[in-house]
Structure 1
Amino acid sequence: MTRTLILGGTGWLGREIAEQLVALGEDVTCLARGKSGSTPGGVTFIRSDRQTPGAYDLVAGVAWDEIIELAYEPDLITGALEALAGSTQHWTLVSSVSVYASNADPGADEDAVLVDAFDLDDYAQAKVAAEHVTAEAVGDRLLIARPGLIAGPGDTSDRFGYWVSRLALAAHEAVLVPDVHDRSVQFIDVRDLAAWLIGAAHRGLTGSYNAVGRERDLSTILLAAARVAGHTGNLISVDDDWLIEHNVNYWAGPRSLPLWLPRSDSAFARRSRSRFVAAGGTERNLKDILDDVLADERSRGLGRERRSGLTREEEGLLLNEIARQMASEDGGVGDRSVQS
C-alpha cells in the first residue's frame, strides 16, 4: 500500500485521482479548503487554507510515497515545496500544454520552447514558473504532466460537453458550428488521465510528458457527437470572420463556440503524444466518452446555464441572421450546411 498526499482533491481531476486510488486500496490524504466539493469515501480529508501560516503542519514530516500538486498559483506552489519537498519519494506536478511559447508547430514535443515567466498572473506563465521552482526543489523525483483539454463526465468548464449536450437539446433543429476545415481537437478523458498519473507515480516516472489524446478532426468530433445525441438537424457552419464580426468567441467562456481555435493556434491541439504513449498513456473509445458525457449532461440539465458556449437564444439569433443573409440578394454567408 502506498501513501499519497493530494494537494487539492475536491475538484474534478483531484477527486477522480483520489477515487481511483481508494479503489486500488491505497492510503490517500487530500489537503484542501474543500470549496470545490467533497472527497470520496475512504479518503482522509484535511481542511486547510494553503495561504495561511501552518497550512501544512498536519502533513509535514509524514513519509509520503507520492505527492500530487494540482495548483499553479505561486504562493501555493512555493509554500507546499518549502513544507513538503523533503518528505516524499516522488512528486507529480500537473501542468498544462499552455506552457509552450508557440502553437504554430504541429507535432511539437516536450522539448519545445516554453513561455517566459514574467507575469505570474498569466495562467501559462504561472504554470511555467511552477514547473521551474518545483524542479529546483524536487530534482530528479519530479514528474511533470502537461495535459491539454480534459474531457469526461463531471466537467464544469463546459468546453467538450457543450457539443453533445447542445446537439441533444436541439434534436431536429439546426446547430451553429465553426468552419471545421483543417481544425483539430486533442483531449484526454479525466479518468484516463487520472489512471495514468497514478500508474506513473507507482513506477516512479520522471520528466515531462504531454498527457494528451490523439489528434482528431473537429468534424469527426461534431459528427460523432451528433450521432450519440440523436441529432437529425443540420450543422450550419460559417467562416471565422463572420463569427468574430458577430462577437462569437474562440475556445471557451461566454458566447463562445467551444473547441474552436484561431488557425494561428491550430497546433495547440496537435501536440506530440509519443512520449506519453510510450509511458503507458491510453485513451478510451470516443463513442464511450460521448455516451458518458451525454448521460452526465442530462443529469445536470441540457438547458442549464453554462460557463462556455452560446445560449440557445444567442444561437437562435445568429442562425436567423445567417438565414436572412443567405436569402438576401448578395448572399452573405453562402450555403454552409454540414449534414449530420
Structure 2
Amino acid sequence: MIELSYEPAFVEEALAALSAHAAHWTLVSTVSVYANQQQPAANEDAAVHEPKDMGDYGQAKVAAERTSERVLGERLLIARPGLITGPKDPTDRFSYWVSRLALAGAAQVLIPAVQGRYVQVIDVRDVAAWIIDAGQRELQGVVNVVGTPRPLADVLDTAAQVVGFTGELVAAEDQWLQEHQVSYWSGERSLPLWLPREDFGFLQRGNRRYKSAAGPERDMTDLLADILADERARALDRERRAGLDRGQELELLAELARRG
C-alpha cells in the first residue's frame, strides 16, 4: 500500500479501511517535516515540527507519520522526498532554469547570487521506481528520498551547456530582488530555487540512507536534457506557475543595469 495523503481524515480513513490487510505500507511524506532548515546534511533523525496546525503542510505530514506509525508499527516505510522534478513537472520550479536559458539564447538571464546556494532535486521517475522496489522489499523506517546536493552555480552551468546558452548570467543580491518584489522559491514573479540564506539546509538534506537502500539518481545532464525536450514541446515562452515571464525579467535586467 502506498499513501500520499496528509489530510488527517483521509489518512485515518485509509488506515482504518486497509491497514489490517496490508503486509507493508509506504507513506510518502516530505522533508518539509523538519523543524530546522538551517543545518546542511541533517539526516532522518533531525527534529520535526510539532503538528499543531493542520493547515501547514509540513506539520500535517508529521501528524500523518505519527498516526501511521501508531497503527502500522514495523510494517511502515516513511519516504520523505525533497524537491521532485522531471519532464512535465507542473510546478515549473526546477524546469524554469533550463527553459529560460534556452529561451534567452545569447541574451542575458537574471539569477540570484549563487554563493553558498545549493540545489537538491530528484527525478520523479527515480522516486516512483524506488518506492515500488522498497515496498516489494518491505523496507521499514524513515528515508530521505533526495538527490545529491549540488552548487546552484554548477547546475546553471550544466543547464547552459545542455541548451547551448551563450549569453550572460546576471546575478542580483537578495535585498535588491526583494526590493523589486521578486519572490523566493516559487509562484508568480519569483526566481525558482532561490531561498533565504537561513533556509539553506532545505536543499542539503542527508541522503546516505537513501543511497544505501539502492536509491537511484540519474545523471544531471541527462535529467536536464529530458526536461529541455519536454519544455520545448510545451513552448519555452508559455505561461508558468513559477518564475518571471520574459518581459518582467528584461525590465529587471534593465533596472539592474541602470543601477550599475
Shorter-chain TM band: over 0.9
Matched, 1:281 2:215: yes
Matched, 1:122 2:122: no
The offset of 1:226, in angstroms, is 1.1
Query: Which residue of the other structure, out of 153, 168, 174, is the alignment partner of 1:219?
Result: 153
The offset of 1:86, in angstroms, is 0.8
1:157-176 counterparts in 2 under 5 A?
157-176=91-110
- Counterpart of 1:237? 171
1:312-323 counterparts in 2 under 5 A?
312-323=246-257
The offset of 1:72, in angstroms, is 1.2
Query: Which residue of the other structure, out of 161, 171, 184, is the alignment partner of 2:118?
Result: 184
The offset of 1:318, in angstroms, is 0.3
- Counterpart of 2:36? 102
Structure 2 gap segments, 5+ residues each: none
Distance in structure 1 (CA, Å) of the matches to 2:224 and 2:201:
24
- Counterpart of 1:201? 135
The offset of 1:202, in angstroms, is 0.8
The offset of 1:324, in angstroms, is 0.9
Query: Which residue of the other structure, out of 223, 230, 234, is the alignment partner of 1:296?
Result: 230
Q: Which residue type is aligned with residue 86 of structure 1?
A: A
1:260-275 counterparts in 2 under 5 A?
260-275=194-209
Structure 1 gap segments, 5+ residues each: 1-66, 327-340
- In the superposition, the TM-score normalised over structure 1's length comes to 0.76
The offset of 1:298, in angstroms, is 1.0
The alignment partner of 2:170 has SS state of: strand
Distance in structure 1 (CA, Å) of the matches to 2:7 and 2:245:
32
The offset of 1:167, in angstroms, is 0.6
The offset of 1:259, in angstroms, is 0.7
- Counterpart of 2:85? 151
The offset of 1:107, in angstroms, is 1.2
Q: Which residue type is aligned with residue 194 of structure 1?
A: A
Distance in structure 1 (CA, Å) of the matches to 2:38 and 2:85:
23
The alignment partner of 2:42 has SS state of: coil
The offset of 1:146, in angstroms, is 0.4
- In the superposition, the TM-score normalised over structure 2's length comes to 0.98
The alignment partner of 1:146 has SS state of: strand
Matched, 1:252 2:186: yes
Instruction: Provide, for residues 288-340 of structure 1, a one-character-per-residue CA deviation record: whole Å limited to 9, x for no partner.
Output: 000000001111111111110011111111001011111xxxxxxxxxxxxxx
Q: Which residue type is aligned with residue 55 of structure 2?
A: D
Q: Which residue type is aligned with residue 318 of structure 1?
A: L
- Structure with greater helix share of residues: 2
The alignment partner of 2:111 has SS state of: strand
The alignment partner of 1:210 has SS state of: strand
Matched, 1:210 2:123: no
The offset of 1:195, in angstroms, is 1.0
Distance in structure 2 (CA, Å) of the matches to 1:226 and 1:71:
37
The offset of 1:139, in angstroms, is 1.2
Quote the sequence identity (%).
Answer: 55
Query: Which residue of the other structure, out of 86, 100, 109, is the alignment partner of 2:20?
Result: 86
Distance in structure 2 (CA, Å) of the matches to 1:140 and 1:250:
39
The aligned length equals 260
Q: Which residue type is aligned with residue 193 of structure 1?
A: V
Q: Which residue type is aligned with residue 37 of structure 2?
A: N
The offset of 1:70, in angstroms, is 1.2
The offset of 1:104, in angstroms, is 1.1
Instruction: Provide, for residues 30-73 of structure 1, a one-character-per-residue CA deviation record: whole Å limited to 9, x for no partner.
Output: xxxxxxxxxxxxxxxxxxxxxxxxxxxxxxxxxxxxx1011211
Q: If you compute each CA radius of gyration, which structure gives the higher value, 1 or 2? A: 1
Q: Which residue type is aligned with residue 296 of structure 1?
A: D
Distance in structure 2 (CA, Å) of the matches to 1:257 and 1:74:
32
Matched, 1:77 2:8: no
Distance in structure 1 (CA, Å) of the matches to 2:229 and 2:30:
27
